[in-house]
Amino acid sequence: MPTPSLEYTISMIRANTHYFDVSLRINLASPSAGPIKLMMPTWTPGHYAIEDFPRNVLDIKAQKKSESGWEEATVEKETKNIWKLNWGGKTDTIQAEYSVHAFEYQDTKSYLDTDHAIINGASVFIYPIGMENERIKLKLIPYPGWDKAATGLDEEAKWEFLASNIDELIDSPVEVGTQEIRSFLVNDVEHQISIYGEGPVDREKYVDDIRRIVENEISIFRQVPYKKYVFIVDFTDEAVGGLEHLNSTVCFVPRLRLLPREEYNLMLGIFSHEFFHTWNVKRLRPKGLGPFNYSSETYTKSLWIAEGITSYYDDYVLRRAGIYTVPEYLSAFAINVNLMSAYPGSRWQSAEESSFDTWIKHRKGDPNAPNVTMSYYTQGAVIGWMLDLQIRKNSRGRATLDNVMARIYEQTYAKDGRPYSDAEFEAIAIEFGGREAKEIFDSRVKGREDVDFDRYLRYVGLRLEPKSSEAAKGFLGIRLNRNETGKVSVSTRLAGSPAEKMGLSVNDELIGIDGMRLSLEKASFYIPNRNPGAKVTLAIARNGLLMEVTGELGTKPALERRIIPLSEATDEQRLLFKNWLLEEWKPQINYPEYTRSPDRKTTLDFV
Ligand SMILES: [Zn+2]
């Protein structure tokens, strides 16, 4: 094999400073007088937001090889993420060196301390424009005492890896340190689990649960499209979530959420979600999502498929793998139902609109977001479920959404490596789901109509009911936040709420209510226990000025609902219930009571 055109060496020796020292050797096919442009991505595949990774690059220096040795090349910054290298005469070898500050524990960023390192490609690799498809070698120089690297890249020798192009390099994160690496085989293919950090968990069972997820998802697509798969798992203090990659994923699991069983299972959903992406988005993908344009936004209307249908399956696969009980699965699914029906945002964004605008809306943490947006994760999970139940009903359980996913995968990526179009996905869904599937596309994929959850639940002998009797409870329609100094303020205000009518705003600090000093606990107790229609006076501080607002409490709507059985079920409903949930229909569902982890962020705790 010829020498790879690009050779990266990443030194972690200065781990205490959190700087990776990177050198890049560029081996040109023939002597050139330049110039060469180097580029750094501005976003990471899977996380659709511009992140401007070059802000962490300290400095770039470059040299060219000449007959007498190395000579300096000039480096001129051209845009925020492009550097132009110039030199005199011709050369076939350029060496660039730079340092990257890596101290952000987030799924798109990189991290380095004296304990371990996570290299997330887009935030570390700067590459020559025009050489994206060249072969690459990556060499690691670990911090003293570290003995392992977990990555989906092919290993050529200890600490040396190969990538066939820039996309593969960027899409193959690496965890380096002294973590534990376990593995198992499914269909004779190796699956590794690299676990960094301590946590209250039985690791045998943990690995076995992940194996069950892997087996179940492979059975949906019926093809294993990788030579090795690596789950890079970090047990964390608070960081939570995961990001999918070509044949690996990086998942952060807060250690307190490994307890109790319900939280543990919810956290397994990170693995079933990210692993499902191995097919849905990493290979079965809409146009634009690979090969990637790393310099600007890539627009697609199909993230509700890529992320949302993945979100439907992330819970459902846990049921199919026997990890979730029926009540556990239904309460996990009800989170989507509640978000979609409680927030006004679904009236302003269809699934396609939400997908398209992810770059400017989804990741921005806007306090008004619940009023005007509805996540494509939530919408897609609900739409995937509607399609699944409709297909099961029309076929009396002989076909499911699995058939749609397997067919579109087969017909596009597996057959000729091409992306799918929106119309193509819709056509296959209609082929299995009939005209009712077309209605789903018209009303919710492209439209903004309210979802009739009970219609689909009825197919399987179920319905919704309010989780607790909220009738006659006072309500302002705000979510409160307490900051580190103890101040309580409005973090979200629902559109059309009593709070909006009385002129209470986001960021208003709540000091008192009806003449009483107020704490978060007191507000959460007092407001629902006053009758709807009661007049309240709130003492607030706005922009540093004290003032009062007065108005009437409204009636608390049923923000949280749960799924329960109908009083009686027909044969068809019983058949479809069992077909979907793999258990006989029963006239009662016993939901477990448990104490939620303090790390779990509840999203519908409005007063
Ligand atoms: Zn995802």
Residue 67 token pair: 């007959």
* Res. 560: pLDDT tops 80: yes
pLDDT at 292: 87
Q: Among 1-5, 145-149, 190-194, 397-401, where is mean pLDDT lowest? A: 1-5
CA 82 to ligand 1 center in whole angstroms: 29
Give per-residue pLDDT as tens, 349-396.
999 999 999 999 887 778 899 999 999 999 999 999 999 999 999 999
* Res. 320: pLDDT tops 80: yes
Task: Give the model's confidence band at 1: pLDDT under 50 very low, under 70 low, under 90 confident, else very high.
Answer: low
Q: Which residues fall within 8 angstroms of residue 26, CB to CB, at 6 or more apart? A: 5, 6, 36, 93, 94, 95, 96, 128, 131
* Res. 504: pLDDT tops 80: yes
According to the CATH classification, is domain 279-463+566-607 in 3.30.450.20?
A: no
CA 46 to ligand 1 center in whole angstroms: 7
Residue 38 token pair: 């180097």
Please state, in angstroms and rounded to a whole number, the distance separating the CA atoms of residues 91 and 237.
50
CA 281 to ligand 1 center in whole angstroms: 9
Average pLDDT, the chain: 95
Task: Give the model's confidence band at 599: pLDDT under 50 very low, under 70 low, under 90 confident, else very high.
Answer: low
pLDDT at 419: 97
Q: What is the largest CA-CA distance in the chain?
A: 89
CA 266 to ligand 1 center in whole angstroms: 15
CA 413 to ligand 1 center in whole angstroms: 19
pLDDT at 539: 97
Please state, in angstroms and rounded to a whole number, the distance separating the CA atoms of residues 208 and 224.
19
CA 344 to ligand 1 center in whole angstroms: 24
CA 255 to ligand 1 center in whole angstroms: 21
pLDDT at 17: 98
Classify 377 as helix, strand or coil. Answer: helix
Task: Give the model's confidence band at 471: pLDDT under 50 very low, under 70 low, under 90 confident, else very high.
Answer: low
Give per-residue pLDDT as tens, 177-196.
999 999 999 999 999 999 99
Q: Which fold has domain 6-177?
A: Immunoglobulin-like (2.60.40)
CA 289 to ligand 1 center in whole angstroms: 13
* Per-residue DSSP letter, 44: B
pLDDT at 290: 78
Contact present, 13 and 21 (Cβ < 8 Å): yes
Classify 179 as helix, strand or coil. Answer: coil
Task: Give the model's confidence band at 212: pLDDT under 50 very low, under 70 low, under 90 confident, else very high.
Answer: very high
CATH class of 179-264: alpha beta
Give per-residue pLDDT as tens, 92-142.
999 999 999 999 999 999 999 999 999 999 999 999 999 999 999 999 999
CA 376 to ligand 1 center in whole angstroms: 10
> Which superfamily, per CATH, for 474-555?
PDZ domain (2.30.42.10)
Give per-residue pLDDT as tens, 47-93.
999 998 999 999 899 999 999 899 999 999 999 999 999 999 999 99
DSSP per-residue string spanning 343-361: SGGGGT--HHHHHHGGGTT
The amino acid that residue 594 corresponds to is Y
pLDDT at 602: 66
What percent of the chain stands above pLDDT 70?
Answer: 99
pLDDT at 340: 94
In the chain, residues under CATH classification 3.30.2010 are: 179-264
Element (H, E) at 368: none
pLDDT at 595: 76
CA 602 → CA 97, 385, 481, distances in Å?
45, 23, 12
Q: Which residues fall within 8 angstroms of residue 120, CB to CB, at 6 or more apart? A: 44, 107, 108, 109, 110, 173, 243, 250
In the chain, residues under CATH classification 2.60.40.3650 are: 6-177
CA 391 to ligand 1 center in whole angstroms: 24
Please state, in angstroms and rounded to a whole number, the distance separating the CA atoms of residues 151 and 170.
11
User: Cα torsion for 267, 273, 274, 276, to the nearest 10°?
Assistant: 150
CA 244 to ligand 1 center in whole angstroms: 7
Q: What is the mean pLDDT of residues 32-53?
A: 94
Read off the pTM: 0.95
Q: What is the mean pLDDT of residues 223-237?
A: 97
Within 10 Å of residue 455's Cβ, how many Cβ atoms? 13
In the chain, residues under CATH classification 2.30.42.10 are: 474-555
Q: What is the mean pLDDT of residues 216-234?
A: 97
Q: Among 230-234, 235-239, 471-475, 595-599, where is mean pLDDT lowest? A: 595-599
